A and B are shown apart, each in its own frame.
Chain A
Amino acid sequence: MDPVQLLSGAFLLVGAFFFIAGTVGLIRLPDRFSRLHALTKADNVGLGFIVLGLMPLTPDLFYGLKLVLVWLLVVIAGATGAHLIAKRALRGDGEDVL
């Protein structure tokens, strides 16, 4: 096994660890807001490492850029979604401010 594959495998394992941590947080944390913490942060970092691990295995540049784009969109969607869920949980009414 060549070193590139080893490195890529290590990154994938680290990414998987963060996803597991996020899931454990979802189960263990006491309230809605704290669970959002676990999901947004763990997903951001976990998916980041998965993308990093897949990067050396991509056949061409476009494939790699596509993975980065996926990560970027997931991060934006995750953070925005967490904010909206938290806001609705806090208020229960009202209009968007932003």
Chain B
Amino acid sequence: MHRHPVFAHPPAVLSRAIGFALIWLILVGPDSASWIVGGPFIIAATLASLTLSEPRDRSLSLSSLAGFVPYFLRESLRGGLDVAARVMLPRLRVRPGHQRYRVRLQSPQARLVFIDTISLLPGTLSADLRGDLATVHALDIETDVVEDLTALEQRVADLFGETLAPVSDRTTAQRSPADGAPTREPPGLPEDRP
């Protein structure tokens, strides 16, 4: 029998409602009258989130999160410094290109975190995800993105309590444009048109 998610997953409902209540508290401050407006919206937000994102049995690993946050901040800073150094120097140090990476994470949430974090890592930007194959844009085509992405993927997997399938052909690192060749985009990667 199909049950409404509110009754099927009480812990998820509770934790999400508490989360939305905390956000409301941060936004508005400790004003008891504000809950007249906030209360209904917290209920609405909880119901909407249950519909939009099915609750799962596994939950986030807090110990991994404690490790992930400093890693994320450090890599963000490195990424910012890297971009700043590339564009502020008189000679622009970029050789942009695309590379492919095979994603092994399973759940949509984990993939979302992975894809969003790629863009904040030094030198990489997640451009596309088709099936398991992510297209990553690199500011410098010489950088080997696979190693960084594998490390990041492992961290995200820990975060969501996933085990990554053994590596078979993760290095699908097609690089384009080819080194030294005149910059002609291969088919399927349209260059930006005016």
List residues of A whose CB falls within 8 A of some B CB.
17-18, 21-22, 24-25, 28-34, 36-38, 40-42, 44-46, 48, 62, 65-66, 69, 75-76, 78-80, 82-83, 86-87, 89-92, 97-98
| Residue B112 lies at the interface, judged by CB distance under 8 Å to chain A | yes
Across the interface, do A42 and B76 meet the contact criterion of CB distance under 8 Å? no
CB-defined contacts of B178 to chain A, threshold 8 Å: none
- A-B contact list, 13 entries, CB within 8 Å: A18-B80, A22-B83, A24-B87, A31-B192, A37-B125, A38-B87, A40-B125, A41-B79, A41-B80, A62-B25, A78-B119, A87-B127, A92-B190
CB-defined contacts of B126 to chain A, threshold 8 Å: 83, 86
Across the interface, do B77 and A45 meet the contact criterion of CB distance under 8 Å? yes
Complex Cα gap A38–B137 (Å): 12
Complex Cα gap A80–B108 (Å): 14
Which size class do B's interface residues fall under?
Answer: 35 or more
B47 shortest CB reach to chain A, Å: 21
Across the interface, do A21 and B26 meet the contact criterion of CB distance under 8 Å? no
| Residue B144 lies at the interface, judged by CB distance under 8 Å to chain A | no
Across the interface, do A98 and B111 meet the contact criterion of CB distance under 8 Å? yes
